[in-house]
């Protein structure tokens, strides 16, 4: 089985590229972030024609997450317990979508498509929201592992954190900015303390994001901010990981590229 995570930066703009990627890569499950649309606006027909079931969570033209699966979808959760709000206390932003599906061998796997808040500036309320969001996700994730140590769960997506200095092209350019601050990095590493394993770093070395401005991609001035944290049971099944860097090339590319995970049969 093969799954991937990809911040598509507007699915309506890039649906043709996403479908072409699915056809070319043979991915069984794709977690998407920043779909930027409501469920009724999501371009479902191309996915269904390609043989994928869909779970979509979007509230407006911002944020939004979705999962496309060739495997039967058993359960869908559009938030995790304790997920914080920002701004409107009555509305949870569309940043988390948990989809459980059954593999061919009968095993159940849950993939959470996550779009972690950006943080904006270190003194901005959005930064405190980001840290609270990560803390709440960590707490809920720890409960999942404690409740079922054999659970196969992946926390995937755009984490908006560059955990190591090597994950940005120039640390001097990020002085005093988000994504590289110590509180953000501690919040990211805390998941490993609870038993989660980030499965991509030891298998691939590449950026996953390049800004559209200032020729960042041609100059390879990127960031590594897309990751896959796997539960112990799922991490043990990972047989390979790759990044499709070519998806940042050409007309109409997202500013992120897909991160692909292969699971042993």
User: Per the annotation, where are the binding residues?
Assistant: 7, 34, 158, 160, 255-256
- Residue ranges for the known binding site for Mg(2+) are 7, 34, 158, 160, 255-256
Reply yes or no on whether 115 is catalytic.
Answer: yes
- The one catalytic residue among 57, 226, 229, 256: 256
Reply yes or no on whether 256 is catalytic.
Answer: yes
Cβ burial of 104 (10 Å; 0-12, 13-18, 19+) is exposed
- The one catalytic residue among 115, 127, 209, 229: 115
Contacts of residue 82, defined as CB under 8 A and 6 or more positions apart, other chains included, come to 136, 139, 140
CA distance 254 to 211: 9
Phi, psi dihedrals of residue 186, rounded to the nearest 5°: -60, -40
- The one catalytic residue among 28, 158, 167, 244: 158
- E-state strands within 165-208: 197-198
Residues annotated as catalytic are 115, 158, 256
């Amino acid at each position: 089985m093969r799954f991937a995570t990809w911040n598509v930066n507007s699915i309506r703009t890039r649906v043709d590229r996403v479908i072409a990627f699915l056809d070319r890569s043979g991915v069984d499950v794709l977690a998407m972030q920043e779909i930027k649309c409501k469920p009724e606006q999501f371009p479902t027909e191309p996915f269904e024609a390609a043989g994928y079931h869909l779970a979509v969570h979007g509230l407006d033209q911002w944020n939004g997450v979705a999962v496309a699966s060739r495997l039967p979808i058993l359960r869908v959760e559009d938030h995790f317990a304790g997920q914080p709000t920002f701004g409107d206390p009555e509305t949870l932003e569309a940043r988390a979508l948990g989809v459980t599906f059954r593999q061919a061998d009968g095993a159940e796997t849950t993939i959470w498509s996550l779009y972690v808040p950006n943080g904006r500036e270190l003194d901005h309320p959005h930064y405190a929201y980001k840290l609270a969001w990560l803390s709440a996700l960590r707490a809920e994730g720890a409960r999942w592992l404690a409740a079922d140590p054999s659970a196969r769960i992946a926390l995937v997506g755009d984490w908006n954190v560059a955990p190591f200095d090597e994950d940005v092209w120039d640390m001097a350019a990020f002085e005093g900015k988000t994504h590289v601050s110590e509180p953000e990095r501690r919040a990211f590493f805390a998941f490993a303390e609870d038993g989660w394993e980030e499965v991509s770093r030891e298998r691939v070395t590449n950026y996953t994001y390049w800004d559209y401005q200032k020729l960042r991609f041609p100059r390879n001035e990127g960031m590594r901010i897309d990751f896959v944290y796997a539960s112990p049971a799922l991490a043990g099944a990972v047989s390979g990981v790759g990044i499709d860097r070519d998806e940042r090339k050409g007309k109409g590319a997202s500013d992120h590229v897909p991160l692909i995970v292969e699971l042993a049969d």
